[in-house]
Amino acid sequence: MLALVFPGQGSQTVGMGRFFFDRHPVVREVFARADAVLGMPLSHLILEGPAFDLNRTVNTQPALLTVETALSRLLAEEGIRPRAVAGHSLGEYSALVAAGALDFEDALQLVQLRGRLMEEAVPDGAGGMAAVVGLEAAVMERLCREAGGTVEPVNYNCPGQVVLAGENIALGRAVELAGEAGARQCVRLKVSGPFHSRLMRPAGDKLAQALSRVAVRDPQVPVVTNAGAAWAKTGREVLEALVVQMYSPVRWEDSVRLLLEAGIQAFVEVGPGRVLSGLIKKIDRQARVFNMEDDSFWEKGLAEFKGVA
């Protein structure tokens, strides 16, 4: 059984999706629709940059959603029928569009708003994020408590990899403690705020207002949500998950394990880069992982999974 997984912010690159844009009308149609809905040349920004503008959160989020939706529709045209879908942070919106729970047009406007709210939630320079490699989650939770202030794990990505977010002083102290505890690597991330931390709660409340005006349907394909690492089976569950996701940790490791327990044997990463592919292999070395940019998928995986749910 096959699941589609959708990456989040940080996977974006100028030119992402161009190979498919040049070859498949369905991809060009999705790009053109995004331009029309947002009233801006988003497709030009995706394909040509500049990188500085593409990397602004308010632009990155609709850009990734557009590329990932275009690629998932290409897969649908090719006869790929996933048994389940999941997305990492922003990628959850792409998963929900693929599952039929959200219209692409509504999702575009929501993620643009989401990006703006995330940028505005905390004063510039007051908060940030850091990735810690080599310490278990329970250790990082303890170190965050010892650091004082507001800092917490916000991405449980795979065994031994946790991302922290919070106020800069507390975050710096937690990173220092992690180094003293034997972390192999501590890297401050180039992001504009402490995403998924409780400092995002005001942004989540504002997003909830916008979501209340959007049609959210029951998913046609099972979806695993970030915050709960649980199945969302109804539109109400989807709605609640998107609000809570703003200020709650992304439990990616638990999400992947839930998919594996449900019988998923193969994953296709639908989007630029191979971040999720790498994480999934660290969670389960036996999992079969494909990326749409891999020749192996188009040569072998496509034929194998066409029409298989």
Q: Which of the residues 11, 88, 196, 255 is marked catalytic?
A: 196
Topology adopted by domain 127-188: Alpha-Beta Plaits (3.30.70)
CA distances from 300 to 77, 195, 290, 292 (A): 17, 38, 10, 12
Provide the pLDDT for residue 297.
80
CA distances from 224 to 57, 69, 96, 164 (A): 24, 17, 10, 22
Q: To which residue do tokens 């490699």 refer? A: 133
Q: Which of the residues 89, 197, 248, 255 is marked catalytic?
A: 89
11 catalytic, yes or no?
no
CA angle, corner 132, sides to 131 and 138, nearest 5?
Answer: 120
Provide the pLDDT for residue 295.
74
Provide the pLDDT for residue 306.
76
Average pLDDT, the chain: 95
24 catalytic, yes or no?
no
Provide the pLDDT for residue 309.
54
In the chain, which residues have pLDDT < 70? 300-301, 307-309
Start-to-end C-alpha separation, the chain: 6
Provide CATH code, domain 2-121+198-305. Answer: 3.40.366.10
Rounded Cα distance, 129 and 194, in Å: 6
Provide the pLDDT for residue 308.
58
CA distances from 152 to 47, 71, 197 (A): 35, 34, 7
CA distances from 194 to 18, 128, 179, 252 (A): 31, 4, 20, 18
Model pTM? Answer: 0.96
Question: Where do the domains of the chain lie?
Answer: 2-121+198-305, 127-188
Q: Which amino acid is at 4?
A: L
